[in-house]
Amino acid sequence: MARPGRLAEWLGVAAPTVTVSLQRLARDGWVSVAPDRSVELTAPGGQAAAAIVRRHRILERWLTDVLGLDWAAADREAQSLAHGMSDLVLDRLDGLLGHPATCPHGNVIPGRRPPAGRPLVRLVDLEPGQRAPVARISEVAEHEAPQLLAVLGELAIRPGAVVEAGAPHDGGHGVLIDEREAVLDDAVARAVWVQQP
């Protein structure tokens, strides 16, 4: 469940904007707003949201795997292309890609089974010296995504890469990736999920 204030913060908009939008969504049957102001998707709202996420993730997979775009560019382009692409073309792209289970960031495409593996923990929860393969990158607010994706892309921190936790730094976390040391700020490090060692 979400609350309007948290949604406004996450989306980077004013609280009244979220309130008006939620009223419209509730009126149209996409969300329900409880007396405590918590918000939940209705069954039709959940289905619509899953369809939007599926479309975006398949497009990102195509843009990175076939066209060779970096993560940040693929995210921007997927947002632009998603609204104008028919279901027929999307389904053909999905088939062309072999019906991938995840987007390039390791997040499951709705309707697919998650990849098998050990339980996941955040990179920040590893002890210094522990090594683990990256499993996925958390979804973040749209206004935060470009910076996060650019930083992780530059460091080659992506699903399948093995990272080693380093010593904590002031406001950040040390990490070793491909023999290179880097310091990730707390928000970036918390977005990286690895398989539990």
For residues 185 and 141, which has the higher predicted lDDT (pLDDT)?
A: 185
Given a contact cutoff of 8 angstroms between Cβ atoms, the answer to whether 71 and 149 are in contact is yes
**C-alpha–C-alpha distance, residues 87 and 110, integer Å:** 15
Q: Which pLDDT band, with edges at 50, 70 and 90, does 149 fall under? A: confident
Of 197, 165, 162, 158, the closest CA to residue 184 belongs to 165
Average pLDDT over residues 127-134: 93
Contact 51, 57 (CB under 8 A): no
Contact 107, 139 (CB under 8 A): yes
Angle at 69 between CA 67 and CA 70, to 5 degrees: 155
Residue with tokens 């998603």: 82
CA geometry: angle 40, 124, 10, nearest 5 deg: 30
Q: Which residue has the higher pLDDT, 178 or 49?
A: 49
Task: Locate 148 and state its tokens.
Answer: 């996060």
The pLDDT of residue 127:
92
pTM of structure: 0.82
* Angle value at C-alpha 160, between 159 and 164, nearest 5 degrees: 100
Convert the pLDDT of each residue in 80-119 to its tens digit.
Answer: 999 899 999 999 999 999 999 999 999 999 999 988 878 9
> pLDDT tens-digit profile of 16-48?
888 888 889 999 999 998 888 888 999 999 999
Q: What angle do CA 96, 101, 104 make, to 5 degrees?
A: 85
In the predicted structure, residue 147 carries a pLDDT above the cut 90: no
The pair phi, psi for residue 192, each rounded to 5°, is: -95, 120
CA distance 159 to 146: 18
Domains and CATH numbers, the chain: 4-41 (1.10.10.10), 49-114 (1.10.10.10), 120-195 (2.30.30.90)
CA distance to 4, 7, 20, 132, 197, per residue, from 27 (Å): 16, 18, 11, 46, 47
Tens of pLDDT, residue by residue over 46-87, are: 999 999 999 999 999 999 999 999 988 898 899 999 989 999
